[in-house]
Structures are given as C-alpha cells and as structure tokens.
Amino acid sequence: MYANVDIKNVYLSHIKIGGNKMSFGKENVTFEFTMRVPDSDAAYVDDLIASHASWMKETHSLVEEEGKLQTLEYYVTKASEYNDMMDPSKGTTGNVIYSLNEVHKDSEHMGKHVELGQSWERINEFFELFSKYDPLVVMGGSITAKL
C-alpha cells in the first residue's frame, strides 16, 4: 500500500549518544511529545531538534560515563501527515508530524535531565514549540508494553 510513498518525506533519526544501548523496561520513566507543524515551519523545527540532539550528545550517554547523564534511549521521528493514512495516494495535509522520545532510568534521572536542560542555549525556543503547536506530551510516563 505504501510502495509509492516518497521516502524523503519520512524518516527516523536515532541519535547515538555514546556507548552501547542499554535495555529499558517498565521500571523506567519516559518523556515524549508529538506535534503537528506546518510544512512552512519544518526547516526551523528541524534545526531546533538538530540542536537539541547535539546538546543531548554532549551532555548525555547511553552508558555510565563520567560527566554525562545516563539516558537509556533518545530518538526523534518525522513524517508528512497524510490526508488519509490508509490511502497515501490522497496526498498530505501540508503538515509534518514530529515525535521526540526519551527513556530515563528513573524519576530522579529525569529530574536531573530537566534541570540540566536549563543550560541548553535554545531551551526557550524549545518551550515555545509547546505553546505554538500544542503538542501531546507524556511527562514522567510509564512503559506499559515492550517487545
């Protein structure tokens, strides 16, 4: 059904932030947000997310590493929003859907992440996304199912 989907408009960006990935499970804590952004704003959001990913790589690690906060998972997805997801031939809405996802060891580590985030030079721009695009946000989420 999706054989004719232009793959340039759909991508998954997994940012490796050091070391080998550690497994995560139901005992861990998550932060996610999903937002709908007009195509006209996508370049700005791409740049902001790239900046966030760089900051994460500088300050976090997937393994215990001196001077970095251990985070179990970090990835961002992006896709054009379809008019009808069951029939991509009907085209797109002119919006892009972004999803940023993090898994932290526990509430304490997530709190440290939030505190550390205040040092990121673009944190205020990041927060502006929340007022401008009204994303769905999971703060301090629980993993309820996993392969």
Residue 147 lies in a domain: no
* Whole-number pLDDT of residue 20: 52
Residue 139 has pLDDT above 60, yes or no: yes
pLDDT (mean) for 54-80: 94
The phi-psi region of residue 109 (left if phi > 0; otherwise alpha if psi is between -120 and 50; otherwise beta) is: alpha
Label the pairing between strands 136-142 and 10-14: unpaired
Number of domains in the chain: 1
Residue 78 lies in a domain: yes
Instruction: Quote the domain boundaries for residue 23.
Output: 7-83+92-142
Residue 132 lies in a domain: yes
Residue 2 lies in a domain: no
Q: Please check whether residue 72 is in contact with residue 105, taking contact to mean a CB–CB distance below 8 angstroms.
A: yes
pTM check: above 0.85? no
* Whole-number pLDDT of residue 22: 56
Range from 15-29, 66-80, 129-143 carrying the lowest mean pLDDT: 15-29
Q: Please check whether residue 77 is in contact with residue 14, taking contact to mean a CB–CB distance below 8 angstroms.
A: no
What's the CATH code of the domain at 115?
Answer: 3.30.70
